[in-house]
């Protein structure tokens, strides 16, 4: 069965710092990849997704992610974080013909003003 | 577009009691999912419906959990009897699936936070 690893459980940054959150998955075939964000007290929202084509995907709020097939990775990046980016971020994978998403354990991002 | 509606938002029950959660997905989304999110962990799939049929319930603890989606729209998830370890947020999501493939990501509801004491 596929698995998703998010090695950073909690990341603390100051405003304007650059962000990179790691996501690795274990599946050798075709994958669809997603990043979700959960702001405090709110529901999970889709940040961006990769299905095919350009491996550099741009999402909402200035986030982007790069799919590197050889590394089984889909890291999330943002050049300059804001206090309002404080949230929990989840990577998710749909592997092959699976009809569901498998989620990582999440990374809590705290941005200090 | 209306989102995925869930109720109640919060529920506190004693162990061995029963509880039910309700979900109304986005109109036109034939696929509906129930996920369990324990504090500090990512969402874990409990059950997936396609219209009113179950696609995957392999991770549903069937001795105490049940779910139905009778008319292919609303769904209910029930726990009977509840255990302390069932304390979690129960998330409902829906997606547009065509040709067996998810065409977009999930749309999640706000979840129901269950506390079992």
pLDDT bucket at B98, cuts 50 / 70 / 90: low
The model's confidence at residue B95, banded by pLDDT at 50, 70 and 90, is confident
State chain A's mean pLDDT as an integer. Answer: 93
Closest to A94 (Cβ–Cβ): which among B31, B43, B102?
B102
C-alpha dist (Å) from residue A62 to A19, A109, A113, B49? 11, 15, 18, 34
Distance between CA A74 and CA A50 in Å, rounded? 9
Residues A9-31 have a mean pLDDT of 94
Interface residue ranges in chain A relative to chain B, Cβ cutoff 8 Å: 4, 6, 32, 34, 36, 42-46, 49, 90, 92, 94, 97, 99-106
| pLDDT attached to residue B1 | 57
- Chain A: residue whose CA lies nearest to B89: A43
Is residue A87 a contact partner of residue A73, using CB atoms and an 8 Å limit? no
Spacing of C-alpha A97 from chain mean position: 21
Task: Indicate the pLDDT class of residue A81, thresholds 50, 70 and 90.
Answer: very high
pLDDT at B28: 86
Residues in chain B: 117
From the CB of residue B13, how many other CB atoms can be counted at a distance below 10 Å? 17
- The lowest-confidence range among A104-108, B29-33, B44-48 is B29-33
A106: which chain B residues are within 8 Å (Cβ-Cβ)? 40-42
pLDDT, average across residues A41-62: 92
Cβ B50 vs Cβ A100: under 8 Å:
no
Nearest CA in chain A to B4: A43
Strand order in the sheet with B65-68: B5-7, B19-24, B75-79, B65-68
In this predicted structure, what is the pLDDT of residue B115? 97
**Does the pLDDT value for residue A7 go beyond 70?**
yes
Nearest C-alpha neighbor of A21 from the set A86, A80, A65, A75? A75
C-beta atoms of B105 and A49 within 8 A: yes
Residue A99 in this model has a pLDDT that exceeds 80: no
pLDDT higher than threshold 70 for residue B99? no
Q: Quick one: pLDDT at residue B100?
A: 55
Interface of B with A (CB under 8 A): 3, 31, 33, 35, 40-45, 48, 50, 55-56, 91, 93, 97, 100-102, 104-111
Closest chain A residue to B96 measured between Cα atoms? A99
Nearest Cα to Cα of residue B104 among A38, A11, A101, A19: A101
């Amino acid at each position: 069965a596929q698995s998703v690893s998010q090695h950073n459980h909690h990341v603390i940054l100051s405003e304007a710092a650059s962000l990179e959150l790691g996501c690795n998955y274990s599946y050798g075939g075709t994958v669809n990849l997603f990043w979700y964000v959960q702001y405090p007290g709110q529901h999970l929202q889709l940040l961006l997704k990769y299905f095919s084509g350009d491996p550099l995907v741009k999402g909402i709020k200035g986030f982007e992610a790069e799919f590197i097939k050889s590394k089984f990775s889909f890291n999330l990046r943002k050049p300059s974080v804001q206090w309002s980016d404080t949230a929990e971020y989840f990577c998710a994978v749909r592997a092959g013909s699976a009809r569901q998403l498998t989620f990582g354990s999440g990374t809590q991002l705290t941005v200090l003003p | 577009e209306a989102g995925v509606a869930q109720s109640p938002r919060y529920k506190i029950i004693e162990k061995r009691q029963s509880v039910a959660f309700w979900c109304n997905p986005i109109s036109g989304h034939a696929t509906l999912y129930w996920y369990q999110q324990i504090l500090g962990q990512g969402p874990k799939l409990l059950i997936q419906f396609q219209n009113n049929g179950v696609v995957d319930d392999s991770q549903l603890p069937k001795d105490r959990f049940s779910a139905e989606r009778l008319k292919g729209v609303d769904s209910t998830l029930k726990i009977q009897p509840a255990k302390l370890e069932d304390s979690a947020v129960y998330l409902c999501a829906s997606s547009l699936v065509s040709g067996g493939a998810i065409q977009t990501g999930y749309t999640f509801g706000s979840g129901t936070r269950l506390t079992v004491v």
